[in-house]
Amino acid sequence: MFGIALPTLGSAARAKIDRKDVPPPTPIIFPSPHVPSSSSTEADSTSSGPKAGLVKTLQAICRPGDINGAAFDAFGVKTFYDANPAEVVPDPSYIPDFTNWDSLTLDEAREKNASTRLPLNNGNLSPGCQTYAERKAELSIPNQDAFRTVRRLPAMKGKPQPRLGNSYEFFRCLELFTTFWDDPTAPPPKTTSEEPAPDATATDGAASASDDDGYYRTMVGTAMPAEHRHSLLSAFIRLVAYDFGCNVTTPRIEPRLQLCTPPSAARPGQQARKSYVPSGCIFVFRTPTKREHARAGMVEGPIAAVSARGSSSLDVDLEKNQDLARELLAALVTAQHRAREGKTEQRFGEGQWWTTKKRWGGGSGGPIGREVDKDEVVGDKDAASPPTKKPRKTMAIYDNYRMIRPPSLSWDKKTRYEAIGRPVGVTEYDDIFVISSLFHHLSVLRLRVPRRLLEVMDGAEEYEAKSWGDLVLWRSKWFDFFKTEERIQAMQLLWAVFAYQMRKTEGEDTAMAG
């Protein structure tokens, strides 16, 4: 009765604004390839050593304006922008020969599909050239034809109705972008002299070019809700991730970069200071092969981080620094999660006095001095007892406040933390992938995170500045979702990333426990 298609309503709800009243488009400015630097930091490090360590530098950041070149200098960030797929993927041998696959017809792809499927680390086989041909054909559908299907309009006269298949969700989310961003592939609006005569228009449900005249950008890009970009990016990643046994999943616990000062930085008689920096990223996890574990919502990994941001003024240094900091934060959080493999969580404050002893000294009367024991009777003893109430299953707010216990757990119990894709025997570093999105574009980052850096952030002594070396970042070019050729290139890059991360390595047990 109330089964209304909400995506259809979202696509059809367009503000009726005359074209001459449409606000100007939002300019698209990508991040600068130059990392901000601080000359004062270099002077301090060359003269009398670093004034503050990495953790103290990060803990001193309280406002967005505090993110400057000193923070990036403390990490030793080194960037390589517009990297090709062979540079983004650590081992280019796992990149399929897409040029050869593009030359195959659909029938030839079916015949050679079995020979192009490789074993994965979950015990299954990777998708082959047939799956690639299907995804490429779906993404090659022109935007206007795909949008007509999403808007439930008939196909143009003389054209067949396109079959979006697995890419329907992607085009549905991309169609929502047309309210806030100009589609560079859309035909220019027709003038009054070009409008067809009334007798030349199609009737009885036949499509005409005038059906799309009411669908054009009516708002600025900065007004687009953030969930639109998250939905579009997740739908695009799933086109590749599903076939590799992975999925984009929102974490149940807020992703946080855990920081701890070294013991030497603490005052006498005090413990090291622990803090965290929250991140708004989500992750790509591997789906368990056991059905009962998958139904229980368990995941494995993470394999990569997904960061979709709404920054639009990247020509300003403050916005530029914040955007790069968000990407680095997502990568470092992912590195900490992957480093949890084979470890158990050490609950912060466990066994300490402030999690076991009463803060008020345990005197009579409780913390506010007005509490009485339950055995003490107040009032007339012979009075009738009040009616019994059904015992509540949860504690009252005040009783919950009085509980003396450590902070809540920061590890997800349903996540099997594992450094999937890291080469066997390599422990000095971990290659972290971040799938980043700005405006209506996508870029893939690879950040090589040294193990020494994770140890310093976990509280290890930092005897010298940047003892871990450089924090190297490779970033691919920005791919426009509106342009067919570029989104196919983005799909190929994601395919190569998943093929590398999900590869089967020698000596690895493929009979996964779940």
109-128 pLDDT per residue, tens? 999 999 999 999 999 999 99
- Give strand pairing partners of 260: 274
Instruction: State what percent of residues in the chain have pLDDT above 70.
Output: 81
* Cβ atoms 153, 205 nearer than 8 A: no
pLDDT at 373 over 60: no
- Measured in residues, the chain has a length of 514
Pull the structure tokens for residue 344: 């158990």
SS3 label, residue 511: coil
* Cβ atoms 443, 470 nearer than 8 A: no
Alpha carbon distance 117, 115 (integer Å): 6
Alpha carbon distance 121, 447 (integer Å): 22
Say which residues have a Cβ less than 8 Å from residue 86's Cβ, sequence separation at least 6: 92, 95
444-478 pLDDT per residue, tens? 999 999 999 999 999 999 888 889 999 999 999 99
Beta-sheet pairing, 274-278 with 256-260: antiparallel
Say which residues have a Cβ less than 8 Å from residue 307's Cβ, sequence separation at least 6: 280, 281, 326, 327, 330, 434, 435, 436, 437
Reduced 3-state DSSP string for 355-391: HCCCCCCCCCCCCCCCCCCCCCCCCCCCCCCCCCCCC
Of the listed ranges 203-207, 279-283, 318-322, the one predicted with least confidence? 203-207
Residue 4 confidence (pLDDT): 38
* Cβ atoms 110, 409 nearer than 8 A: no
Residue 323 confidence (pLDDT): 93
Cα dihedral value 76, 80, 84, 90, nearest 10: -20
Tally: H helices and E strands in the chain: 16, 11
* Cβ atoms 135, 165 nearer than 8 A: no
232-277 pLDDT per residue, tens? 999 999 999 999 999 999 999 999 999 999 887 777 766 778 899 9
Alpha carbon distance 190, 195 (integer Å): 7
Of the candidates 480, 488, 477, the one whose C-alpha atom is nearest the C-alpha of residue 177 is 480
pLDDT at 489 over 90: yes
pLDDT band at 202 (very low <50, low <70, confident <90, very high): very low
pLDDT at 49 over 90: no
- For residue 359, which amino acid is it? R
Does residue 301 come out as left (phi exceeding 0), alpha (psi in the -120 to 50 range) or beta? left
Of the listed ranges 59-68, 187-196, 307-316, the one predicted with least confidence? 187-196
Alpha carbon distance 308, 229 (integer Å): 6
Helix axes 168-177, 143-150, angle to 10 degrees: 100
* Cβ atoms 442, 481 nearer than 8 A: yes
* Cβ atoms 94, 503 nearer than 8 A: yes
Helix (H) or strand (E) holding 22: none
- For residue 402, which amino acid is it? R
Residue 8 confidence (pLDDT): 43
Strand ranges for 297-393 from DSSP E = 299-308
Alpha carbon distance 159, 427 (integer Å): 56
Taking the model in full, what pTM does it have?
0.85
